[in-house]
């Protein structure tokens, strides 16, 4: 895992166009979702919810774990992806753990997120981390259904 480190994420509105384009590219590659840069800038990413970016030694963003505060005890993960070349190396688990620690330190104890039903690896990861499917989102993704997953941090 050397060479990469999770760091607290700044609000998207404060990131450079270059960094936002990298995040846009990562999200599109890893999830198939296409966000306009202006939409990324407006996402309510919160440091106190445990939002993180995975940086390389070369200062390149290789992963995103963005979350928002919902209420005094709940966060919602609004984006979580890692460049394919760095997946299955423990980065996702270490980021998830760090996010949980940060969110808990601000009083949050519960998390939920949405995931495409065909993203088997992600669903397995979330289940391993204590989340369960609590609903089906039939029209959440373009042409695909999603799962609502939730659990304790």
Range of lowest pLDDT (56-65, 69-78, 139-148)? 139-148
Q: Which residues have C-beta within 8 Å of that of residue 145, sequence separation ≥ 6?
A: 116, 117, 136, 137, 138, 139
SS3 letters across 100-152:
HHHHHHCCCCEEEEEEECCCHHHHHHHHHCCCEEEEEEEEEECCEEEEEEEEE
Arithmetic mean of pLDDT, 125-151: 88
First to last CA, the chain: 23
Residue-level pLDDT at 83: 96
Instruction: Show me where the domains of the chain are located.
Output: 4-109
The 10s digit of each residue's pLDDT in 74-130 is: 999 999 999 999 999 999 999 999 999 999 999 999 999 999 898 999 999 999 999
Burial class (CB in 10 A: 0-12, 13-18, 19+), 112: middle
pLDDT tier at 1 (50, 70, 90 boundaries)? Answer: very low
Residue-level pLDDT at 33: 85
- The superfamily CATH assigns to domain 4-109 is Gcn5-related N-acetyltransferase (GNAT) (3.40.630.30)
- Mean pLDDT of all residues in the chain? 94
Residue 22 tokens, joined: 């990298």
The 10s digit of each residue's pLDDT in 2-16 is: 599 999 999 999 999
Total Cβ atoms within 10 A of residue 135: 13
Total Cβ atoms within 10 A of residue 11: 14
Arithmetic mean of pLDDT, 45-74: 97
Residue-level pLDDT at 141: 61
pLDDT tier at 30 (50, 70, 90 boundaries)? Answer: confident
Q: What is the pTM of this model?
A: 0.92
In angstroms, the Cα distances linking 59 to 7, 15, 34, 77 are 11, 13, 23, 24
């Amino acid at each position: 895992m050397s060479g990469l480190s999770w760091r607290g994420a700044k609000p998207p509105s404060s990131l450079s166009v270059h960094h936002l384009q990298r995040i846009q590219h990562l999200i599109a590659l890893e999830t198939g979702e296409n966000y306009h840069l202006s939409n990324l800038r407006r996402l309510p990413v919160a440091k106190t919810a445990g939002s993180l970016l995975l940086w390389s030694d070369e200062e390149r963003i290789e992963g995103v774990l963005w979350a928002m505060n919902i209420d005094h005890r709940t966060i919602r993960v609004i984006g979580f992806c890692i460049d394919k070349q760095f997946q299955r190396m423990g980065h996702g688990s270490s980021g998830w753990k760090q996010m949980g620690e940060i969110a808990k330190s601000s009083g949050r104890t519960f998390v939920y997120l949405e995931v495409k039903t065909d993203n088997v690896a992600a669903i397995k990861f979330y289940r391993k981390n204590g989340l369960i499917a609590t609903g089906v989102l039939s029209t959440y993704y373009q042409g695909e259904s999603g799962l609502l997953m939730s659990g304790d941090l």
